[in-house]
Amino acid sequence: MGVTGDVLQGFLQAIQPSSLMATAVGCLLGIVVGMIPGMTISSGIIILLPLTFVLDPNISIALLLGLYVGGMLGGSFSAILLNIPGTPSAAATALDGHPLVARGETGRALGVAMLASFAGGLFSCLCLFLISPSLADLALNFQAPDLFSLMFLGLTIICSFAAQSWIKGLLSAVIGLAIVSIGQDPVMGTARFTFDDTNLLSGIHFLTALIGLFAIPQLIGNLGKKTIDSTVRTPSIPFKSLLPTLPDLRRMRLPVTIGSIAGSFLGMLPGAGGPIAAFISYDYARKTAQNSNEFGKGAIEGIAAPESANNAVTGGALIPMMTLGIPGDPVTAVLIGALLIHGLAPGPLLFIEHADFAYGVIFSFFWANIFNLIIALAGLRLLVKLAAAPRTILMPAIAILCVIGSYALRNSFFDVYVMFCFGLLGLAMKWLDMPVVPLLLALVLGQQLEENLRIALTGSQGDISVFFTSPFSALFLSLSIVSVIWSIQSTSGMKNKEAKT
């Protein structure tokens, strides 16, 4: 089938009623998850993932993409309404969003956020559609040394999360690699660290590890907090007030353009992600605005730029995920796992062997952005109430879902116990102030990293110069160095900005 046929097939898959329904449900859940302070998009996807085991891959990925896109907008709602960013990416939105709410212009603030998110999401979807196939074609030429260096580049995302403490960040990644080394080795099938237990032969399933690492510390952390319903305000928001006026639309043009371009580009880079894109866009929007003194006091541009940026990051992050198999951010790392569960390995071959599915993902992402806007506009008041559901009921239900999720993988209690052990590990890491994301990335990329490293070294008979003589490999290693330096600089720059604002 030609490219046009694949595109058409993908489009038809994405407009199946079941796929559209899944996308809409995902958006709805995503907005709610994003709005609940303390719940992250990654956790939402991890909790929902077991539900998707029995679903068709198209439907399941549509659901998860909806959650990803919706979560970004939901996080901004709580940032604007409560001044508590539901997601780290929404922190910049709170700077001007909440002052507008304080001035009684809640509808205006939310309307601008919705529209800017929509524009940013659509722009990144266009980038995803145009760039992904060409990048996948190029990636087909990669050999084992190139793939190793590419995985290494993917791992440099760790630097963004390890900037607080390099020792702890790197230790987290090393622990992840040690966990990956349990089970049969990927080249020769030799059993490692299995203690003759057959359950360990296939290794630790990354999903059980993720559920434990992310969900259990969150469940325990929420024990000491007040119920959400006592803090969430449900202001009266007439539908008309959500629609931006013509002067507001004019003021949004430049910041939305800045945010969309910056978000799509930064989303592609491992380690950059939503928070950095949002703050960089906010900064540029302030520099280019005529009313820069209004920033921080409720400037429309101060909402439009970070909002378009953090939603554009979603499409940007999907580009390296789908074409190269490396995650742009923690959420796409979880999405890679979701695809692997369905037997679909993200990477260049996805566009060759399952091109219709790959285009289906792109179109589902497009629909997710459309539904996101519609659901947010139509059901805002209800969504705010949903997010205010009592934590006392929500959290026990999540705890039980975690147990079902880990059990459902192989109908085995072994996985449930492993999940609980990872929960304890997650709590210990929290106690030690050690980031979990490097461990997550090591779990997702570790096996491919080892496989390609060993194949490359076997091919070169142990000569490590193979990583520097291959042009692609040398390029990726150079980019890794740039990524590390850039991550350190931008993280420290962002911290300074946060401290100033």
Partner 1 sequence: MRAFLSSDESWTSIIHMMARRNVLAGVVLLAIGLGYGVLTAGLPDRSLPGTPGPAFLPWLITAGWLALSTALLIQGLLGGDKKSKDAIGYCMPAQGWPALVGFAAYLLLLPTLGFIVASILFFAGLTWLYGERNKLLTSLTATIIPIVLFYLFTAGFQVLLPRGPWG
Q: Which residues bind partner 1 (CB under 8 A)?
A: 51, 53-54, 164-165, 167-168, 170-171, 174-175, 177-178, 181, 185, 187-188, 190, 192-193, 216, 219-224, 227, 390-393, 395-397, 399-401, 403-404, 407-408, 411, 413, 416-417, 420, 423-424, 427-428, 430-433, 450, 453-454, 457-458, 461-462, 495
Question: Residue 61, class by beta-carbon neighbours within 10 Å (0-12 exposed, 13-18 middle, 19+ buried)?
Answer: buried
Nearer to partner 1, 297 or 430 (CB): 430
Nearer to partner 1, 249 or 401 (CB): 401
Nearer to partner 1, 342 or 381 (CB): 342
Q: How far is the CB of 63 from partner 1 (least distance, A)?
A: 14
Q: What are the φ and ψ backbone dihedral angles of 181, each rounded to 5 degrees?
A: -75, -5
C-alpha–C-alpha distance, residues 334 and 318, integer Å: 12
Q: How far is the CB of 423 from partner 1 (least distance, A)?
A: 8
C-alpha–C-alpha distance, residues 251 and 248, integer Å: 5
First to last CA, the chain: 54
SS (H, E, C) 303-348: HHHHHHHHHHHHHHHHHHHHHHCCCCCHHHHHHHHHHHHCCCCCCC
Q: What are the φ and ψ backbone dihedral angles of 192, each rounded to 5 degrees?
A: -130, 135
Nearer to partner 1, 385 or 454 (CB): 454
Q: How far is the CB of 258 from partner 1 (least distance, A)?
A: 28
Q: How far is the CB of 51 from partner 1 (least distance, A)?
A: 7
Bridge partners, 184 (sequence order): 191
Question: Residue 280, class by beta-carbon neighbours within 10 Å (0-12 exposed, 13-18 middle, 19+ buried)?
Answer: buried
* Residue 246, both tokens: 């013509």
Residue with tokens 């399941």: 60
Residues 380 and 136: beta-carbon distance below 8 Å: no
Q: How far is the CB of 85 from partner 1 (least distance, A)?
A: 15
Q: How far is the CB of 195 from partner 1 (least distance, A)?
A: 9
Residue 10: which residues within 8 A CB-CB, separation 6 or more? 355, 356, 357, 358, 359, 360, 361, 362, 363
C-alpha–C-alpha distance, residues 329 and 158, integer Å: 10
SS (H, E, C) 466-480: HHHHCHHHHHHHHHH
Q: How many beta carbons lie within 10 A of that of residue 348, not counting itself?
A: 20
Nearer to partner 1, 160 or 260 (CB): 160
| C-alpha closest to that of 66 among 379, 368, 383, 370 | 368
Q: How far is the CB of 222 from partner 1 (least distance, A)?
A: 7
Nearer to partner 1, 192 or 250 (CB): 192
Nearer to partner 1, 335 or 419 (CB): 419
Nearer to partner 1, 217 or 244 (CB): 217
Nearer to partner 1, 5 or 221 (CB): 221
Alpha helices in 36-105 (DSSP H): 41-48, 57-82, 91-102
Nearer to partner 1, 227 or 292 (CB): 227
Residues 104 and 406: beta-carbon distance below 8 Å: no
* Residue 482, both tokens: 């740039």
Q: How far is the CB of 459 from partner 1 (least distance, A)?
A: 9
Nearer to partner 1, 126 or 408 (CB): 408
Q: How far is the CB of 49 from partner 1 (least distance, A)?
A: 12
Q: How far is the CB of 193 from partner 1 (least distance, A)?
A: 6
| Angle at 174 (CA atoms; ends 170, 177), nearest 5 degrees | 140
Q: How far is the CB of 184 from partner 1 (least distance, A)?
A: 9
